Chains A and B, each alone.
Chain A
């Protein structure tokens, strides 16, 4: 299945901004996070198609996955 993966801020470094990627049907978000080497403790929010998502959620063909790092300074 085709998943559009969007990375924000520092997560782009050494990776990419947005990419269409191929995954087996039913792949969970956590698998993609570990494939991309994104440590879970650096993540602020995960969204799938504008909805809030958790790492154990399964993805479906055509989904857009967006991963945001924690930004907390003032």
Chain B
């Protein structure tokens, strides 16, 4: 390991570690690309691919992201973009959960879908895409449907859960599991020109509130469908929330939701009154 340290330090350009060096180190020392990345970050060296993160994210924060695990529930419209952005951001382990395969009606918006991936599992396409864009990241594809029964097994060990589901009852079940496991959950939902984002920390009942009047069926998306731009935007907002939660920075959408209306191009923050118990926590 000492030899790897020396190799990385002597091959770095300033504090940047170019990709060919990262690859060479993996081969030379017979370790994974991820192991090289972890070691480099620990030495204060930044893999060059992250150099444009620099002003926003420091080397030590990049290491924190790399050692984090994020589970993305749903690999469709929202999930595809979420996974793409998490991998480029440098989150080290991504769990991609979706039982479905790509169908033609996904092609208008789901970034992981192409004519070539029709009929292929969405989670598998996520793994292939991440391997292509950032081989240092481990993507764990799980072609299963999330449920209260398998929830704990699927989510345990994750630092943050991303809701990219298209079902309201499954979302409500996911929120409950997140609370039980004490994991923050970033919620996103879309329909037509509209979307919403909110973050629930353990002990909050945000998701339950958002869908408190739900009895059955789907939301406005049933009628309006989902065009390409809404999932891209809402997914990006979700990833920004994930990044802040992991790094403990900025102000998250806790106790509030951001309502997005792209038809009138309006963003509105809706604040929830905090319960007294939550305030004194």
Residues of A whose CB lies within 8 Å of any CB of B are 8-10, 17, 40-47, 49-52, 66, 68-74
Contact = CB atoms under 8 A, between A and B. Distances in A.
B219 A74 contact: no
A71 B194 contact: yes
A41 B191 contact: no
Nearest to A47: B270
A68 B232 CA distance: 22
Given A43-B213, A44-B210, A50-B271, A74 B261 contact: no
Contact of A45 (B78, B211, B217, B223): B211
Interface residues of B, number: 46
Interface in B204-245: 209-221, 223-224, 226, 231
B214 A73 contact: no
Given A8-B261, A41-B217, A47-B270, A74 B74 contact: yes
B164 interface: yes
Nearest to B235: A74
Contacts, number: 106
B34 interface: no
B164 A50 contact: no
B211 A70 contact: yes
Interface stretch (B15-23, B35-43, B49-57, B166-174): B166-174
Contacts of B184: none
Among A42, A46, A49, A66, the one with the most B-chain Cβ atoms within 10 Å of its Cβ is A42
B211 A44 contact: yes
Interface in B63-108: 74, 76-79
B226 A73 contact: yes
B121 to A, nearest CB: 16
Interface string B185-196: 000111111111
